[in-house]
Amino acid sequence: MLQGTTTYFSSNCDVEDAEVAKEFMMSCDLSAYNTRLFKMSGNTGPIEYEIRLASMETDGKAGVQNDCFLVTP
């Protein structure tokens, strides 16, 4: 079966990366809707993921960030 390509993931992400990110986001009580996943990895270092969440502040507190981080060995 062929796997599709989406702009919601960087070109180096695969199904396993998507599952890791989904589980992580669930543990932080975040929805995967309106997100983009970028796999940032060096050749010898740990894999890091950057999750970009499309949202809008409605209370005037721009720049508020969630303190959830995921780095895999």
Report pLDDT digits (tens) over 20-45: 888 888 888 888 888 888 988 767 77
By the 10 Å C-beta count (0-12 exposed, 13-18 middle, 19+ buried), 36 is classed as: middle
pLDDT tens digits, one per residue of 52-73: 877 666 666 555 455 555 555 5
Distance, CA of 9 to CA of 51 (rounded, Å)? 9
* Right CATH for 15-72 from 3.40.50.460, 3.40.50.11540, 3.30.70.2600, 3.40.50.150: 3.30.70.2600
| Helix or strand holding residue 72 (H, E) | strand 71-72
Q: Are 43 and 29 in contact (CB under 8 A)?
A: no
- Residue 39 bridge partners (DSSP): 49
Check residue 2 and give its pLDDT: 42
Confidence of residue 47 (pLDDT cuts 50, 70, 90): confident
Question: Higher-confidence residue: 7 or 45?
Answer: 45
